[in-house]
């Protein structure tokens, strides 16, 4: 059976996570080295660009600028240091131009000087406990670990570690009242978030993060501004968390967990299969998750090996598959709306 997409919801597997800087820098680890989640594995200088209209300020022609400059391309300059000057026939006609920022002369042309500035360093953390399996030259590394894994659909680009705590059932909304018992550092598992007060109170309580099935779309900007990580397993709206992921989180309550931003992933630190301790999994799960449409968020089992055509209400014909959903309903679902669950 071939599906357009797949999602990993695994109670125990080998996990490979690529950790990468946004631009070239220096990698600080080596292959085979053990790393901790908060360990810095690569660092890069955060750079910017400033365009200075020096010829205009000196009152000279664009093509003449270079002979008035004190610095050449590639040379560094400090804020306040003289970048160019022009002497007149009289002493009081001397014109000087000082650089407004520190940086390096990157280019000269059209009467302008372009400076490359450095505003600080970006540090790349390992993100999870594991071993460096591969170095990505100048950018980062691939970290290998073993544990339970749930891939999400969206994150607010924050990362952190915490302890798993199930706050609601898979189809219930997390409310401010439900946060009364939340403790600092816990990663809360819930069905959905529909109230802006929930996000604000969670920040005040300094929770470790939230993993929800869905989030009200109008809360997206607020979620992006929160100081803690938020990962959605289904996306925006009111869709409950799928049962495969929720059951895994329920079984993992009290375990250490890491929330990773890109791609959105939840890694649970376990030494063996959470759902079947002592059992080695050899076969891929045949379950699927409905990712769109009326049955979004439900998990089911394909009843056919071959795809068949389905006539939609719109008049289009699309490949589909007969699936028995977890609620017992048998329905033919378009292949485009299904994700294979990989364990």
Question: How does DSSP assign 18-36, residue by residue?
Answer: EEE-SS--EE---TT-EE-
Three-state secondary-structure class, residue 223: helix
Residue 135 has pLDDT above 90, yes or no: yes
pLDDT of residue 69: 93
Q: For residues 41-65, give the mean pLDDT.
A: 90
Q: How many CB atoms lie within 10 A of CB 287?
A: 20
Q: Could you tell me which of 206, 293, 299 has the C-alpha nearest to residue 248?
A: 299
Q: Could you tell me which of 189, 196, 266 has the C-alpha nearest to residue 226?
A: 196
pLDDT of residue 28: 97
pLDDT of residue 214: 95
Q: For residues 194-219, give the mean pLDDT.
A: 94
Residue 318 has pLDDT above 90, yes or no: no
Average pLDDT taken over every residue of the chain: 88
- Give the range among 6-10, 174-178, 265-269, 313-317 with minimum mean pLDDT: 313-317
- Give the range among 188-197, 323-332, 334-343 with minimum mean pLDDT: 334-343
Size of the chain, expressed as the number of residues it contains: 343
pLDDT of residue 119: 76
Q: Which residue has the tokens 């989180």?
A: 249
pLDDT interval class at 337 (50, 70, 90): confident
Residues 85 and 309: their CA atoms lie apart, in Å, by 76
Q: Specify which residues 268 forms β-bridges with.
A: 148, 257
- 60-91, pLDDT tens digit by residue? 999 999 999 999 999 999 988 999 998 866 55
CB crowding 18-34: b at 16 or more within 10 Å, else e: ebebeeebebbbeeebe
Do the Cβ atoms of 83 and 97 come closer than 8 Å? yes
pLDDT interval class at 280 (50, 70, 90): very low
pTM of the model: 0.74
pLDDT interval class at 4 (50, 70, 90): low
Q: For residues 235-240, give the mean pLDDT.
A: 93
Residue 91 burial (10 A CB sphere; 0-12, 13-18, 19+): exposed
Residues 107 and 266: their CA atoms lie apart, in Å, by 44
Here the tokens at position 29 are: 């680890």
Residue 276 has pLDDT above 70, yes or no: no
pLDDT of residue 274: 63
CA–centroid distance for 168 within its chain: 25
Percent of the chain residues topping a pLDDT of 70: 93
Residues 297 and 301: their CA atoms lie apart, in Å, by 13
pLDDT of residue 273: 67
Do the Cβ atoms of 291 and 339 come closer than 8 Å? yes
Q: For residues 103-122, give the mean pLDDT.
A: 89
Residues 143 and 36: their CA atoms lie apart, in Å, by 10
Residue 244, C-beta contacts closer than 8 angstroms, at least 6 positions apart? 9, 287, 289, 299, 341
Q: How many CB atoms lie within 10 A of CB 97?
A: 21
Residue 46 has pLDDT above 70, yes or no: yes
Three-state secondary-structure class, residue 199: helix
Residues 302 and 319: their CA atoms lie apart, in Å, by 14
What's the CATH code, domain 5-15+145-268? 3.50.30.40
Do the Cβ atoms of 255 and 270 come closer than 8 Å? yes
Q: How many CB atoms lie within 10 A of CB 242?
A: 26
Three-state secondary-structure class, residue 47: strand
Residue 95 has pLDDT above 80, yes or no: yes
Residue 253 has pLDDT above 90, yes or no: yes
Residue 258 has pLDDT above 90, yes or no: yes
Do the Cβ atoms of 199 and 212 come closer than 8 Å? no
- 153-192, pLDDT tens digit by residue? 999 999 999 999 999 999 999 999 888 766 788 999 999 9
Percent of the chain residues topping a pLDDT of 90: 58
Do the Cβ atoms of 11 and 343 come closer than 8 Å? yes
Residues 205 and 2: their CA atoms lie apart, in Å, by 45
Q: Could you tell me which of 162, 225, 154, 157 has the C-alpha nearest to residue 196?
A: 225
Residue 8 has pLDDT above 70, yes or no: yes
pLDDT interval class at 283 (50, 70, 90): very low
């Amino acid at each position: 059976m071939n599906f357009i997409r797949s999602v990993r919801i695994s109670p125990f597997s080998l996990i490979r996570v690529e950790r990468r800087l946004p631009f070239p820098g220096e990698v600080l680890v080596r292959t085979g080295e053990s790393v901790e989640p908060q360990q810095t594995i690569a660092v890069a200088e955060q750079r910017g660009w400033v365009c200075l209209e020096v010829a205009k300020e000196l009152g000279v022609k664009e093509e003449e600028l270079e002979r008035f400059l004190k610095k050449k391309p590639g040379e560094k300059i400090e804020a306040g240091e003289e970048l160019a000057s022009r002497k007149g026939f009289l002493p009081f006609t001397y014109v000087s131009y000082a650089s407004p920022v520190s940086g390096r002369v990157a280019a000269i042309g059209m009467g302008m000087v372009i400076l490359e500035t450095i505003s600080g360093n970006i540090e790349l953390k390992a993100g999870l406990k594991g071993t460096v399996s591969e170095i990505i030259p100048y950018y980062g590394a691939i970290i290998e670990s073993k544990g339970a894994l749930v891939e999400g659909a969206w994150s607010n680009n924050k990362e952190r570690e915490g302890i798993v705590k199930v706050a609601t059932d898979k189809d219930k909304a997390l409310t401010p009242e439900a946060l009364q018992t939340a403790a600092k550092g816990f990663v809360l598992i819930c069905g959905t978030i529909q109230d802006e007060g929930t996000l604000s109170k969670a920040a005040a309580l300094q929770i470790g993060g939230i993993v929800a099935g869905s989030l009200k779309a109008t809360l997206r900007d607020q979620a992006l501004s929160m100081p803690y990580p938020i990962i959605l397993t289904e996306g925006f709206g009111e869709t409950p968390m799928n049962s495969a992921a929720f059951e895994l989180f329920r079984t993992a309550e009290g375990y250490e967990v890491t929330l990773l931003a890109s791609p959105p992933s939840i890694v649970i630190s376990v030494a063996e299969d959470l759902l079947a301790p002592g059992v080695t999994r050899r076969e891929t799960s045949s379950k699927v998750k409905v990712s769109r449409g009326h049955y979004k968020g439900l998990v089911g089992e394909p009843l056919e090996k071959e795809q068949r055509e389905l006539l939609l209400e719109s008049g289009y014909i699309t490949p589909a598959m007969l699936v028995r959903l977890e609620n017992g309903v048998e329905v033919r679902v378009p292949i485009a709306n299904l994700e294979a669950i990989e364990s």
